[in-house]
Amino acid sequence: MDIEREVLLKIEPKEDENKHILKVIENVKVEIQRVAESLGLSVEPILVGSVAKDTHLTDPDIDIFVMFPPTTKRQDLELYGLKIGNAVLKKCEKKYAEHPYVYGYYDDLKVEIVPCYKIEDPLQKMSAVDRTPFHTNYIIKNQKPEQKNQVRLLKQFLKGIGIYGAEAEIEGFSGYLCELLVLNYGDFKNIVAHAKDWKKGVVITFVNGDFREFNETLIVVDPVDPERNVASALSEENFATFIHACREYYAKPRFEFFFPNDITPEPIKILKNKIERRGTTLLCIIFDTPQTLPDILHSQLRKSMRAIANLCEKYDFKFIGSDYFVNTEVMLLFEFEVYSLPQTKVHKGPPVWHPNASDFLQKWTCSSKLVSGPYIKNGSWYVDIERDFKNARELIEAKLGTLSLGRHINGSVKKGYRILKGIKIVEERYAGWLTMFLNKKFRWEY
């Protein structure tokens, strides 16, 4: 059987599943109206997202927007949006777009109830989600019936290679971006054939006329709002991963691109042997996971990784890789090529004839850090001085509390953290993550 047909048999919702979904949607809409009327509100619940466009996979999230009149105060939109969601759904959880909304269950299906403003023009959006109904309508109007399964194939392909989702944790392809790519290229095979040859800065647009300049890696101009790049959340790493995956799949299609094999954690002994064999130094900073929204958490974790990396490189401690892992604890992992350095370092000063040369001499001849010098080399002053930190751990322990890691991360670090080095990092609960970090394979290669 053709691989793509085989995949569709697994991911295309069955008729009875869709009937149940439609029944739940109607019931939720009725409940929203009932609760709104009890609150004296005039609202309109509408179905948006992949279910509305019939591009959903099995076990979808149902997205229902509650449209409020534009005259509604922002604080009332948020307040009543939450009240309606909490009254209609079970096992509720507050989430955020630009403003809060409710995620929960109705019967056995996952549902999001999101308040928005009912506007006539997407360019008049009053909140970030107000354009979503226009996205839904655009796809429904322009999508051919046979393209629905092509979107499903692309979504599953992206899920399989680990880059589906525009949230901060993933920085990948959104569902709407998938739908637009299918509209542009026609079908999944054609997307693969073109994407394998993509270069950074490729532009896809659906409307004539000018649009503003974007600096992102992939540019897909929103046909609903030309001021927006639909692919703005996509990281350069995931853009490159998609190109490589398309090249590999084009050359040799495999089921594992859509449904990769489970990653079997390697035994502790093997992981320790691999770490020792690498000859590098692994350092892991561990602290309690702060209580905040996933998007905020992952954005701050990436900020933390950059801040620590920049600090280490400033002091000449070079690393070759990094990653983080989140559970009840956060683990920030760095693999150092240069972890420790000699006590003494060479520090270059100005040319001998420079006006600031005397200041340099005065500063260092009186310094307790001076080891030797000052001396002249190639026309400039030099001194040999003691380093402030002999290894990366000393540096991190001294400076971590001074870095801007993000409010929630700084707060958690302030409460306490620990640092593990080398094979001490290897614990059973982290074995799967360390297996992936050390092997550095793509998901379809396992």
pLDDT tens, the chain, 446 aa long: 699 999 999 999 999 999 999 999 999 999 999 999 999 999 999 999 999 999 999 989 999 999 999 999 999 999 999 999 999 999 998 888 778 899 999 999 999 999 999 998 887 777 888 899 999 999 999 999 999 999 999 999 999 999 999 988 899 999 999 999 999 999 999 999 999 999 999 999 998 877 788 999 999 999 999 889 999 999 999 999 999 999 999 999 999 999 999 999 999 999 999 999 999 999 999 999 999 888 889 999 999 999 999 999 999 999 999 999 998 899 999 999 999 999 999 999 999 999 999 999 999 999 999 999 999 999 999 999 999 999 999 999 999 999 999 999 999 999 999 999 999 999 898 899 999 999 999 999 98
Per-residue CA distances from 169 to 201, 296, 325, 383 (Å) = 23, 9, 11, 46
Torsion of CA 151, 153, 157, 158, to 10 degrees: 20
Distance CA 91, CA 103 (A): 8
Distance CA 70, CA 120 (A): 10
Host H or E run for residue 204 = strand 202-204
pLDDT, position 1: 60
**DSSP one-letter code for 401:** G
Distance CA 168, CA 301 (A): 10
12-139 and 143-260: identical CATH topology: no
Whether 392 contacts 341, CB under 8 Å: no
Look up the CATH number of domain 12-139.
3.30.460.10
Burial category of 365 from C-beta neighbours within 10 Å (exposed 0-12, middle 13-18, buried 19 and up): exposed
Per-residue CA distances from 251 to 75, 188, 382 (Å) = 54, 15, 57
Distance CA 7, CA 253 (A): 12
Whether 287 contacts 417, CB under 8 Å: yes
Q: What are phi and psi of 204, to 5 degrees?
A: -125, 125
Cα–chain-centroid distance for residue 212? 25
Cα–chain-centroid distance for residue 311? 23
Which residues are CB-contacts of 43 (< 8 A; sequence separation ≥ 6)? 32, 33, 36, 66, 67, 68, 84
Whether 162 contacts 443, CB under 8 Å: yes
Residue type, 182: V
Distance CA 47, CA 383 (A): 70
Segments in 171-255 forming alpha helices (H): 175-185, 188-195, 236-251
Look up the CATH number of domain 143-260.
1.10.1410.30
- Collapsing DSSP to helix, strand or coil, 112 comes out as strand
What's the CATH fold of domain 268-340+390-445?
Alpha-Beta Plaits (3.30.70)
Whether 175 contacts 159, CB under 8 Å: no
Burial category of 199 from C-beta neighbours within 10 Å (exposed 0-12, middle 13-18, buried 19 and up): exposed
Domain spans of the chain, in order of start: 12-139, 143-260, 268-340+390-445, 344-386
Distance CA 397, CA 308 (A): 11
Region of residue 201 (phi > 0: left; psi between -120 and 50: alpha; otherwise: beta): left
What's the chain's Rg over C-alpha atoms? 27
Distance CA 440, CA 428 (A): 19
